[in-house]
Each structure stands twice: as C-alpha cells, then as structure tokens.
Structure 1
C-alpha cells in the first residue's frame, strides 16, 4: 500500500484529538502512545460530558475493559454524538464473553451506535459474531484461524473488523488485508491492544479509506514493535522502547518493512 507513508505523515501533521472512553488499567499508556504517534488524547468518562467531548473530538474510542453501567450509558451518548458529527467510532470489546454483563454491554453499544470498526482478538470478535470461542478473564483462548474469524464476523455483524494476533487481519468481509508484522513482547505489555485501537482511530481521521487507514495503523504499530524489540531485554524496557519507536519511526521504514498480504474473498468462499 503506497499510501501508508502519506497516512502516517497526515496523522502527525493533523494531530487529531482522540476521545477515549476506556478502561482504567490503560489510560496512561494509551495517552502516552497517542502523543507518541502524533495524535492528542482526551479521556472523558463522565456521563455529564461524554457527548460534549465527542463533539470536540476527531474520533472516538469505546473500550469496555473496566466498564460500569454508567460508563456504558456514557459510551452510547458519546457514540451517538460522534455519529451525528460524522467522526469515526472504534469499539474495543475487551473480554467480551467473559461475563454476561460484558457481553450485554458490547451488544448494546453495537445496536445503539454506528461503528466504523471493531478491533479485538479472535476470541472477542468471534464471540460478538456468535462464533464458538472460549474466554479466560479478559484474554481470549481460541485456536481459530484469524482470517476465517475476521471474514465471517464482519459478514455477520455488518461492520469492518480488525482481528489481532500472530497475524493481524483487517476486513469488511470482502476485501482482506493481512499484516505479518509485530512482536510477541506486545502480549507482555498491558494495554498494547487497547492502544492499538486508539491508534486505529487516529488513522481513521486521515484521507485514507477505512480499510486502508486501518491497515496503515496496524502496519505502523507492528513495525514499531519490531524496531522496539531490537533495543530491549524484556517487557519493561520494551514498553519504553515501543513508545520511542512510535514517536521516531520514519514512514519510509514502515513502507520498506511492512509484510502485507491482500486478497478478495471469492464468490465461492462468500
């Protein structure tokens, strides 16, 4: 995708304001990560201001990692305000399927807000779409093929999805982008997936199409992880090196390092 360097530079030049209604475990890491990418974070969970903040933002992220009933209401209010304004909305259904409350909340959001994309692991996305998966806490335990899950889930939900794992898959059920970049140390840092959802939201504010911008975000993120891993000895130093890589990574390096597979689902497969 030749436009990836352009989209990276657009994020840095635009400095989009990303409104995150997210979980309390990842607030600091998400904010610092967005700053490193070139975006500006705001965290506003209060129901009294959620919609107003969405009206001021360039994109909205809804993350159910540590949700409450009041927070779900705030998410829906913000989501409807974002829809009215016409800005992207990204859902991160952290741990969906682990409890009925968490699952009901995710379904309520999906039914109430027009989402641009849903990002999660195979277990989370599969559960949302009614595919079989097992959950352990907020971590999905699934042996399913990420590409199969992503394609089927997007078709069933009628929403583009990003399924992250060893390989990351971005699809609308028809066009499929598979990113083979990344590093296993991402799984040792709390909030790495949550930050990715916010980075995707930042890229969705660019001139790229939804799938192209999402793929650019995931590719950029994966290459940054590879660069960071070269200068680290474990999760602690990796987290710091990763933020540095997000900040310093040259768009041309991403273009030269990206490992991307693209294809279209055939009529027989559909």
Structure 2
C-alpha cells in the first residue's frame, strides 16, 4: 500500500472553525435523490446551499457563489448543458468547483462527460474507488453507484489523476484517502451505516466544495471535510438503532460539531 500520513486533528478543527466563520454559499448541481440531505448537511454546518439548475440561471448564480458542486448522479442532456455552463462561469470568476463522478465507468454518457470536465480544472474530485479508477482510465467502474473496490485499491490511480489534472482527489470508503499527486493523507472513521442510506457521499462532496472555498492548503482542507463527515457519522452511528435513525442523527452530529467549532 502507498504510504500515507494521518490528517492532524488540529488541522481539521481549524478548518471547520474557518468554515463556520465564512459560511460559504455553495451552488449544488447535484442529483435529484439527495438534494434535501445535501442542503440539510450544509445548513447544519452553517453554510448556505443553493440548488439552481435552470440553464437560464446557472451561469449567473455560479458566478456569485463561493463554490460549485457538480454531481452527475441523475444526469440528463439538459443537466449536462447546465453543468457545463455553470463550470464555465465558475472558472471565469475563479470560483472553485468540485466533481462528484457518480457511477463513472458504469455508463458511457456520464463517463464521457466527466472526462470532458477534467479539462475544466476542478479544484477537487470526490468519488469512491471504482469511480476514481474509471475516471483515471484504469477500471470499468462499479455496480451502479456502489464501488467494487476498496479505497486503497485506487491510490495509485488517484495520485496519477491528481497529477494529470492538477487537482486534489479524495477516494472515500471505510478509510478515506486524499492526495494532491505528491502527498497522501488518510482519514479513518465513519460508520458502515453511511453506506446503508442514500446520499452521504454526495453530501460529502458538497462539503468538500465548501471547504475548497476557504484559503489555505487545499489538500488539508479537502481531508478536513472528509474528517468532519466521518466524525459525525461515527457519533451518529453510536446512538442510532439503524439506518432510519442514523440519518437525522448525522445532521445533528454535524450541527453539534459546527457549534463546538464556534465556541
């Protein structure tokens, strides 16, 4: 396994404090299944989510947001056009944007679009191991949105992708790994329950986008976003009776973490 370093607790705490102080406005072009959870996660952390999707509005709104999320989970031709316009507007304003390549490798339309977007300088890419392998051209993808690989299986591909695109790549799973092509950080934690409900990974990508809006070392900022979500998942799972009670517990745990960061 490629050597990795743990993210320092102090770095994650400092990043979360700055996040709550800045309260970034995050433009989420995300899939229809997870919009409510994504918004609630961002609100719990003190950020401002917006789900503007109309082709006539995305460029205007993306230009004033602090960060942009592109999640291709429920991709259509119209959404592809909206996403491309939003990315162009974000780049013109110097606004960081994050790609979540949901099910890349499993379906040609979304895989081709995600690879096209790699030319548009994403600030970060967040995906599971199968998605990252497929995006790097080293795998056929997972079973739909489910990964067929462990995060550690995609470390070499993630590093190569980060170098080639000049970005930060987060490979998430039982242990999360974040790389800028040279350095590699690991973020343990989370809970198996996070894979038994819809949208925790997609919501994490929105949090990553918000952390990318902050000043500082982007590798540490992206890893800090992963740590915030993993820690909240761990705390929520300890009190949950199953997936149904886990999800509101996750939002509560994120809110509690944000409140503690402001104290």
Global fold match (TM > 0.5) = yes
1:115 and 2:122 are equivalent in the alignment: yes
Give a deviation string over 1:104-155, Cα, whole Å, max 9, x none.
11122223x2210110001001101011244212222125624333223323
SS at match of 1:20: strand
Matches within 5 A, 1:1-270: 1=8, 2-111=10-119, 113-143=120-150, 145-249=153-257
2-side partners of 1:252 and 1:28: how far apart?
Answer: 24
Residue 250 and residue 31 in structure 1: after superposition, are their counterparts in 2 closer, same or farther (change >3 A)?
A: closer
Residue segments in structure 2 that go unaligned for 5+ positions in a row: 1-7
Maintained 8 Å contact 1:146/1:169: no
SS state at 1:131 partner:
coil
In 2, distance between residues paired with 1:148 and 1:252? 36
Q: Which runs of 4+ in 1 moved over 3 A?
A: 155-158, 250-253
- What residue number does 2:4 align with? none
CA RMSD of aligned residues (A): 1.7
Point out which structure has higher relative CO (alpha carbons under 8 A, 6+ apart). 2
Greater strand fraction, Structure 1 or Structure 2: 1
> Is the CA contact (8 Å cut-off) linking 2:24 and 2:47 kept in structure 1?
yes
Moved more, 64-73 or 2-11: 2-11
Contact 1:170 1:214 in 2 (8 A): yes
Distance 1:250 1:130, change over 3 A: same
TM-score of the superposed pair, with normalisation by structure 1: 0.88
Alpha-carbon deviation of 1:158? 3.8
TM-score by structure 2 length?
0.91
Tell me by how many angstroms 1:37 deviates.
1.1
Aligned counterparts of 1:134 and 1:66: Cα–Cα separation in 2: 16
Q: Measure how far apart 1:156 and its partner are.
A: 4.2
SS for the counterpart of 2:27 is strand
The offset of 1:46, in angstroms, is 1.0
